[in-house]
Chains A and B, each alone.
Chain A
């Protein structure tokens, strides 16, 4: 049970990471448009795109920005959280002598684990992209 709670903790860390990346994206977007706006080059669309998805990480149910990438991430994280909580509940009820089958508990855990691994893979990709952006010389 504590192991699954730890997974829940990781999931919240994951969410805050995405929030951080989203926020950094917003900051980066603002900086980029300010710098570019001062010159003769027209503001690049990717910068605007990053700015628009900036606030979404913190409020995944916000409908103002439509179906942005971070919206999808937010929803996926919500789904992941549900899965992990479901696994937690199943394991707790099994430990408490509930009537749940062993395979049900194990498959719930397995689903949560796969979901978590997917989430971590996506986070790694996001961080990679973020670090790639940070390495850009201005």
Chain B
């Protein structure tokens, strides 16, 4: 296994955790979005990750394959003056769990650091290996 395989696997983890942060940021940013490009209220999502063989010896990296909808039913708030209020005067807000999203954000941030540490370790091993030749 090449040291670059380790770096590539950790890099895939970095990319995946960045994606997880993107998703959390999207959910938090849209916690009050009453309309979306897909039509209707914003749908909170969670990332879906897939293990991906990345090395000849079977070590696997990770790839983000998409998102899946999360959260319960949208929250209905009575506000007849809102432009997106329905016939009965209720506005539909997405059910974003801010605490859960913040926890996920912290997890993503820590995981990103872990993967960064792995790349540092791989780099240091490579440099140590070069030192062997001196």
Q: Is B126 touching A114 in the complex (CB atoms < 8 A)? A: yes
Query: Assuming A103-B11, A103-B14, is B3 touching A114 (CB within 8 A)?
Result: yes
Q: How far is the CA of A52 from the CA of B18 in the complex (A)?
A: 52
A110 within 8 A of B: yes
Tell me what chain B mostly uses at the interface: helix, strand, loop, or mixed: helix
Query: Assuming A107-B7, A111-B7, A114-B3, is B123 touching A101 (CB within 8 A)?
Result: no
- Total A-B residue contacts, Cβ distance less than 8 Å: 37
Q: How far is the CA of A118 from the CA of B133 in the complex (A)?
A: 9
Query: Given the complex, which residues of A lie within 8 Å of B14, measured CB to CB?
Result: 101, 103, 107
Interface residues of B in 1-15 (CB under 8 A from A): 3-4, 7, 11, 14-15
Tell me the smallest distance from the CB of B122 to a CB of chain A, in Å: 9
Q: Which of A103, A110, A122, A125 contacts B123 (CB 8 A)?
A: A110
Q: How far is the CA of A107 from the CA of B119 in the complex (A)?
A: 8
Tell me the smallest distance from the CB of B108 to a CB of chain A, in Å: 13
B29 within 8 A of A: no
Q: Is B4 touching A111 in the complex (CB atoms < 8 A)? A: yes
Tell me what chain A mostly uses at the interface: helix, strand, loop, or mixed: helix
Tell me the smallest distance from the CB of A109 to a CB of chain B, in Å: 11
Query: Given the complex, which residues of A lie within 8 Å of B116, measured CB to CB?
Result: 103
Query: Assuming A121-B133, A125-B133, is B123 touching A114 (CB within 8 A)?
Result: yes
Query: Given the complex, which residues of B lie within 8 Å of A107, measured CB to CB?
Result: 7, 11, 14, 119
Q: Which of B119, B130, B133 contacts A110 (CB 8 A)?
A: B119
Known contacts A114-B3, A114-B126, A118-B130; can you find 9 more A-B pairs with CB under 8 A?
A107-B7, A107-B14, A107-B119, A110-B7, A111-B4, A111-B7, A117-B127, A121-B133, A124-B133
Pairs of residues from A and B, 6 with the lowest C-beta to C-beta distance, nearest first: A103-B14, A114-B126, A121-B133, A121-B130, A107-B11, A117-B130
A-B contact pairs, 10 of them (CB 8 A): A101-B18, A103-B18, A107-B119, A111-B4, A114-B126, A117-B126, A117-B130, A118-B126, A121-B134, A122-B133
- Give residues in A with beta carbon < 8 Å to B: 101, 103-104, 107, 110-111, 114, 117-118, 121-122, 124-125
- Give residues in B with beta carbon < 8 Å to A: 3-4, 7, 11, 14-15, 18, 116, 119, 123, 126-127, 130, 133-134
